[in-house]
Structure 1
Amino acid sequence: TSVMPLRLCHTSQTAPDPSPDLPTYLRGALAQAIGRRRELGLAPEAGVRLVLGDADRLPGLTVDQFAQCVVVQTSTPAMEGQLLPVLLPELLEQTGAASVVARNDKT
Structure 2
Amino acid sequence: MGTLQQYGLPFLVWWTSLYLASGVSIYVALDTGLVSGASIIDFIMQNGLDKFIDPARLDPTYGNIAIAVIVNECLEVIRFPITLATLPYIKRVFSRKKVEEAK
Under a length normalisation based on structure 1, what TM-score does the superposition of the two structures give? 0.26
Larger Rg: 2
Under a length normalisation based on structure 2, what TM-score does the superposition of the two structures give? 0.27
